[in-house]
Amino acid sequence: MSPRPLMFFGTTNLDLCFNVERLPTPGESLMGSLKRNAGGKGANQAVAAARLGLRPSFYTRLGDDDAGRSLLQALREAGVCLDAIAVCPGEISGSALVLVGDDGSNMIVIDAGANANVTPSLVEKAAEFIERDAIVVAEMGMPVGALNHLFAMKSVKGFELIFNPAPVRAGLSAAAWTSVDFVTPNQTEAFELTGVEVHDFDSAAHAAGKLLDLGPRAALITLGAQGAYYADASASFALRAFPVKVVDTTAAGDAFNGAFAASLAQRLPIRQAIKKALAVAALCVTRRGAQSAMPSSEAVDEFLK
Ligand code: ADP
């Protein structure tokens, strides 16, 4: 059977990543080495799915600038369908300044740029690209008003909705919450949404119960090196992370979300979809970077042998 259509809504950023010996103090100048990486949560998730052999659509908003062109090229090379993407003259593409110290500590400043200009009516236009029986994935970097509008379209369009509440913010309407099929926070986001500190599978179960009270059909909490916890009205289970040698945890959550969505699109049952997402995220943390760290389906099959 052919895979279900898959569409991501989210942000794209040019990440300016400086490796520095240690983070600077106010007023201090330091030497560092710079790498420009394609990033943004939505873009990373779409690339993770494309590497697994799908051709997901992606809606994002970019400026008509050098950064926008190189970000588009990265998405094109990964095999993401660019038809829904808006490239807007006069706007500046989103960017992030990332400082990483030798001890792994970091400082990040984001200029949302064109990402901040996504309005409800633009989302409505982009939603024309959502096909029948599609899986839609949305993260929280887009303006919340646009997300509320997208989620409200679910009743008409009939898609299945994965909501990754990152970066977590308030403002999603009660009605929008009830449109969500899978909410996929990490530990910090689960705490922000429920007030429950998630440090193990027991506390994840408690937080998942509170997440379900918000209205989604299922909660899927990621717990870093521990794994993931799933709960819906009739089932709940925890799956352990694959033990790997960690090099860089950037975009682990994006790898997980992109792979979970891709696996559902490939019609895997939920438990198997989560297991594959854990494998993809484990491989992601063994490599440097964000989009460049997303593994191919061959690498994942080899890892799971
Ligand atoms: P985020 O990157 O959004 O903060 P997490 O830290 O929860 O999200 O990581 C997401 C997923 O990435 C985890 O559920 C796990 O599958 C994988 N992962 C993260 N860190 C590790 C690790 N040290 N070892 C193995 N897998 C990891």
3-state SS track over 10-69: CCCEEEEEEEECCCCCCCCCCCCEEEEEEECHHHHHHHHHHHCCCCCEEECEEECCHHHH
254 among known catalytic residues: yes
Q: Which residues contact 80 (CB under 8 A, 6 or more apart)?
A: 43, 46, 47, 50, 55, 56, 57, 58
Please enumerate, as own/partner, the contacts of 20-25 that have beta carbons within 8 Å and a separation of 24 or more: 20/99, 20/100, 20/101, 20/102, 21/101, 21/102, 22/101, 22/102, 22/103, 22/105, 23/99, 23/101, 23/105, 23/106, 23/107, 24/99
Give the number of the atom of ligand 1 that is nearest the alpha carbon of residue 166.
3
Ligand 1: which of 186, 229, 230 to mutate, judged by most atoms within 8 Å of the beta carbon?
Answer: 186
Residue nearest (by alpha carbon) to ligand 1 atom 8: 253
Q: In the predicted model, is pLDDT for residue 102 greater than 90?
A: no
* Mean pLDDT along residues 41-52: 98
Tell me the CA–centroid distance for residue 220 and ligand 1, in Å. 13
- Tens digit of each residue's pLDDT (9 = 90 or more) over 178-237: 999 999 999 999 999 999 999 999 999 999 999 999 999 999 999 999 999 999 999 999
Query: What would the pLDDT profile of 241-266 be if each residue is shown by its tens digit?
Result: 999 999 888 899 999 999 999 999 99
- Work out which ligand 1 atom sits closest to the CA atom of 251: 2
What pLDDT score does 57 carry?
Answer: 98
- What mean pLDDT is predicted for residues 48-68? 97
C-alpha span between 245 and 285 (Å, rounded): 8
Cα angle 189-192-197, degrees, rounded to a multiple of 5? 85
Q: Atom 16 (ligand 1): residue with closest C-alpha? A: 278
| CB distance 278 to 264 below 8 Å | no
63 CA to centre of own chain? 21
**253 close to ligand 1 (CB < 6 Angstrom):** yes
Q: Using a cut of 0.80, tell me whether the model's pTM lies above it.
A: yes
Judge whether residue 6 has pLDDT over 80: yes
Q: How far apart are CA 291 and CA 303, in angstroms?
A: 19
Mean residue pLDDT across the chain: 96
Confidence at residue 249, expressed as pLDDT on a 0 to 100 scale: 87
Q: Where does the pLDDT of residue 106 fall: very low under 50, low under 70, confident under 90, or very high at 90 and above?
A: confident
pLDDT band at 289 (very low <50, low <70, confident <90, very high): confident
| One-letter amino acid of 201 | F
Peptide bond into 167 cis (omega under 30): yes
The pLDDT value recorded for residue 247 is 86
Say how many Å lie between the CA of residue 300 and the centre of ligand 1: 16
Pick from 225, 232, 217, 223: nearest CA to 202 = 223
pLDDT at 137: 98
CA of 281 to the centre of ligand 1 (A): 6
Question: Do β-strands 57-59 and 6-9 pair in parallel, antiparallel, or remain unpaired?
Answer: parallel
pLDDT at residue 153 in the model: 96
Model pLDDT for residues 150-179, shown as the tens digit of each residue: 999 999 999 999 999 999 999 999 999 999
Residue 126 Cα to ligand 1 midpoint, Å, equals 31
262 CB-near residues (< 8 Å, 6+ apart): 6, 48, 49, 52, 53, 54, 56
What mean pLDDT is predicted for residues 124-147? 96
Predicted pLDDT at 103: 82
- Exposed, middle or buried, 61 (CB in 10 Å: 0-12/13-18/19+)? buried
| Test site for ligand 1: of 41, 250, 283, 285, most ligand atoms within 8 A of the Cβ | 285
Pocket flag, ligand 1, residue 263 (CB < 6 Å) = no
Q: How far is CA 276 from CA 47, 60, 264, in A?
A: 16, 26, 10
pLDDT the model gives residue 53: 97
Per-residue pLDDT band for 100 (boundaries 50, 70, 90) equals: confident
